[in-house]
Amino acid sequence: MAVVKPHLIRRRTICATHFRDLRNLVRPAGRRTVYMKLVADYCLHDPSLRPTAVWEQERNEHSSPCAMIAAVTEAKRIAAEKAIEYVQDGMIVGVGTGSTVAYFIDALAQIKDKIAGTVSSSENSTAKLRAHGIDVLDLNETGPLSLYVDGADECDPNKCLIKGGGGALTREKIIAEASETYVCIIDPSKRVDVLGKFPLPIEVIPMARSLVTRELTKLGGEPILRDFTTDNGNIILDVHGLQISDPVGLEREINAIPGVVTVGLFARRPADIVIEGSEPIQVW
C-alpha cells in the first residue's frame, strides 16, 4: 500500500468531524478500511484532534485504530437505543441530525407504529425517516413537542452544548426550543470540561460574512468559512481557538451580531437529559 502522509489528509475536515463521521469521508468506494486506518493513525499522533482524554483511554484499551473506531460507533449506538425509552405512545418526536441520531432513527423505525410522527431538523434526517416509512410533520402544524432527541459535538457538565458540525444548527435550535424535554445522545469523546475545542459553528447570511468574521475575531476566535451551504441557503463560519467559560453570555453576544442567523451554542436552552454511551451507560 502506498504511504499517505498525514498532511495529505485535510486537517480541517478531521477537526470539523472530530473523528466521528469517517464513514462519510471514505473515498473512493472499497477503500474504507485503508482510509479509516490512515485517518485514525493521524488523529492518534496529533492530540489536538482528540477532544478529551477518552481517546487516550481508548488507545490504551484497543490495539488498533480500527478497533477504536468500532468502540466509538458502538457507544453511539448504545446511547441512541437508550433514548428510545423516552418515546411514549402517540408522541410526535423531534429528531436531530448526525451520525449518532442516525442510530436513533434506525431504532425509532422499530416502533414507528407507536408514534404519531416526527419533526425533523434537516433534509438529511427527513430522508432517513421517510426511508423507514416514518411520517415527517411541519413544526408549525404540530405545535409544542414533548420530546426532542439529538446529538452534540461537545457537552459540558452543565449540559450546555456545541452543535452544528453537521450544519443543521438553526433548525436544531428551533426544535429544541419548541420541546419540553431535550435528550442529548453522545459518545464519551463529546464530554468536555470546557466548551470550545470543537470549532464553534455559526450560521451566517452570506452578505454578512466579512462583517461577522471581523466581529468574531474581536472575540478572540479564528473564523474559517466552511465549504458548505445550509438547508436554509446560508453559510457557516467555524470559529477555532475559543475556550468558552460563559456559554450563555457568548451565545447572547454572538447572536446579537447583525447577519448571524444563530450560533451553535445551546446554553440558554441546554439539554435536559444526557445519555452517554459508555460502559456502563451513563444518564445525567
Catalytic sites, residue numbers: 172
Cα gap 238→257, rounded to integer Å: 15
Q: Among candidates 247, 144, 162, 174, which has minimal Cα distance to 202?
A: 162
The string of DSSP codes covering 22-76 is: HHHH--STT-HHHHHHHHHHHHHH-GGG--STHHHHHHHH-SSHHHHHHHHHHHH
Q: Among candidates 163, 150, 160, which has minimal Cα distance to 97?
A: 150
Q: Cell numbers at residue 122, please?
A: 434537516
Q: Assign 126 to helix, strand or coil.
A: helix
Cα gap 131→262, rounded to integer Å: 30
